Amino acid sequence: MKTIKGPAVYLAQFMDTKAPFNSLDGLCKWASDLGYKGIQIPTWESALIDLKKAGENKDYCQEIKGKVESYGLVVTELCTHLQGQLVAVHSAYDTMFDNFAPNEVKGNPKARTEWAVEQMKSAARASRHFGLDVHGTFSGSLLWHTAHPWPQRPEGLVEMGFQELAKRWTPILNEFDEQGVDVCYEVHPGEDLHDGVTFERFLEATNNHKRVNLLYDPSHFVLQQLDYISYIDHYHEFIKMFHVKDAEFNPTGKKGSFGGYGDWIDRAGRYRHPGDGQVDFKTIFSKLTEYGCDVWAVLEWECCIKSPDQGAREGAPFIQSHIIEATEKKFDDFAGSEIDEQKLKRILGIN
């Protein structure tokens, strides 16, 4: 067993144009004052990091690392959710996903993909420069528009989709392998990797690439009505990152998992602050500890009701209260552990 590290906080949803949320120094002081021990950095935020430079310059990374540590924090992981998303974008989503791309590649899907791939390779090198061995991202999606099988999917479509996804990711995964860093895909609605089956499809398509791993976030499974507890039983060996985020699913006679195109507040499935939704975090922390998952427990604030200020204040103590200090001693060790063969035979009734 292994004690989960934490609490930490993912900075992505807290970024703002106003202090203290518009600079690394401001966010570090804010997080430290709230009791967090680590920060997870979204690498598309230029106010926090220049990812290209980080991939080229170890001294630059060490400078950032030193700054973070001066506030009593550590960098838990770097993340490239937006860049990973742009590795594979179906044309139906071109216009909307262009919002995540720099101006010079907008309107040019080929250039956008090439930019995203280079960003991912930079992230591999930057992670190593920080001394990190795990990295969080999205897979992107070529098949999501076919998730509901109407119209019927032609034979071979899904297989081709995962082959193409693997083709795009394999050079990236190889770069991460050279740097000794695992790629942890956040299994998420909208991605081709959105549940256990699709993760296995991708793993197979990459020839079981050893750098293919998981970022575990139970909130996304509540929205799918997937058993997020037994998911840990199936995939614990791949779980290298952990987002602490809650969700609830309250279907009615008018709406269910598809949500009726409603805003988050109006959907049957919606994200909530940890402890306010339906996720059983007590069992999750127990399972991850039992299986020895070496992860940071990182707050990801996404709640359609509670403010980010309150969410951040409550997040650190919530996580801390769930962390289990893994025991190194059996509670019945007093019974003795030396082997006495004659005593064992007497207990078993063996002459």
- The per-residue pLDDT for 163 is 98
Q: Looking at the chain, list the stretches that DSSP marks H as alpha helix, in order from N- to C-terminal side.
A: 24-33, 51-56, 58-69, 81-85, 94-97, 109-130, 157-179, 196-205, 219-224, 228-235, 281-290, 308-322, 341-348
- The per-residue pLDDT for 231 is 98
- The per-residue pLDDT for 338 is 81
Q: Report how far residue 136's alpha carbon sits from residue 76's, in angstroms, rounded to the nearest whole number.
A: 10
Find the helix or strand (DSSP H, E) in which 216 lies.
strand 212-216
- The per-residue pLDDT for 170 is 98
- The per-residue pLDDT for 329 is 80
For residue 6, the SS3 value is strand
Q: What is the CATH superfamily name and number for domain 5-348?
A: Divalent-metal-dependent TIM barrel enzymes (3.20.20.150)
Amino acid identity for residue 60 in this structure: Y
Q: What is the residue extent of each domain of the chain?
A: 5-348
- The per-residue pLDDT for 336 is 65
The conformational region for residue 225 under phi > 0 = left, psi -120 to 50 = alpha, else beta, is: left
Q: Report how far residue 88's alpha carbon sits from residue 112's, in angstroms, rounded to the nearest whole number.
A: 10
Cβ neighbors of 104 (< 8 A, separation 6 or more) are 111
- The per-residue pLDDT for 10 is 98
- The per-residue pLDDT for 84 is 98
Q: Model confidence over 65-120: pLDDT tens digits? A: 999 999 999 999 999 999 999 999 999 999 999 999 999 999 999 999 999 999 99
- The per-residue pLDDT for 219 is 98
- The per-residue pLDDT for 328 is 82
| Intervals of the chain under pLDDT 70 | 332-337
Would you give the end-to-end CA distance of the chain in angstroms? Answer: 39
- The per-residue pLDDT for 351 is 77
Question: pTM of the prediction?
Answer: 0.95
Residue pair 139/117 in contact by the 8 Å Cβ criterion: no
